[in-house]
Structure formats: C-alpha cells, structure tokens
Amino acid sequence: MGRHFGEMDDRITLSPRRSATALTGFELRPDGLMVPTYRTQRRQARRMLPALRGFVAVILGVTAFKALIFAQVGAAEYEERLSRFDTGDLAAQAIAFVMHPDPVTAAAGGGVRAAIRGTVPPTLKAAALD
C-alpha cells in the first residue's frame, strides 16, 4: 500500500508541471496506449523573461533618472558634478561611470528641459522643417 502512495505523490507533483506546458498532441506507445506530449522548451524561455524584464526596467529607470537630472541642471553643470565624482573613491567613480551622459540621456534631457520651459529644442525644429 505504501508503494501506491509514492506513485500518487509522483503524479501530483507532475500534474502542475504538465499543465504549465503546452500540450502538443498525443503519442501512441508500442503497447497501444495513447499518452499526451508536452512542449517543455518554452518553459525555459518563460523563466528567463522576468529576469530580462527586470533588467530592462532598471536600465530604463536609470536612463530616465539621468535625463531628469540632466534637464534640471543643464549640460555644463552635469559634467562638472560628474567630474567631482571622478576624483573620489571607487564607489564615487562607479557612480560617475554609470551616470556619464550618453546620447539617449542628452536627447531625453534636452526634450524634458524644453518641455519644462515651453520651447521646442533645435533638433525637433530641424526635424519638423525637413
């Protein structure tokens, strides 16, 4: 009787895994029994997706933070503040490396700064005239 409980436990733990995967069809075994077949490769991609989504969210958040600071203080002041971090300890240098203005940050910061002031940035004026 103990053997049957072990088989039942195996079936119970296998059932949620099977229901989480996509049913691809049925397979006919040599003994004549039809058994369902499941796609398991897709589950591996689903496991990686939340990690990738979190990584992208962090990158977008840091870029938005950099753009807002860039828009608030301006390009010259932003560079000056980062130069102060460059001469600091290892943690300050790491922050300076991450906060270094890239083209996306500069463009987004310029757009935010123009939106705050109510003006159109020169890059958008040139694009509208073309």
pLDDT digits (tens, 9 = 90+) for 72-94: 888 889 889 888 888 889 999 99
- pTM for the whole thing? 0.54
Nearest of 74, 76, 61, 85 to residue 109 by alpha carbon:
74
Per the structure, the complete domain to which residue 13 belongs is given by: 2-39
- The domain tally of the chain equals 2
Residues 31, 54 within the same domain: no
Rounded to the nearest integer, the mean pLDDT of the chain is 77
* Residue 111, domain member (yes or no): yes
Residues 23, 60 within the same domain: no
Residues 29, 55 within the same domain: no
Residues 64, 97 within the same domain: yes
Residues 28, 63 within the same domain: no
Residues 16, 74 within the same domain: no
Per DSSP, what are the bridge partners of residue 38? 23
User: How many whole angstroms separate alpha carbon 48 and alpha carbon 45?
Assistant: 5
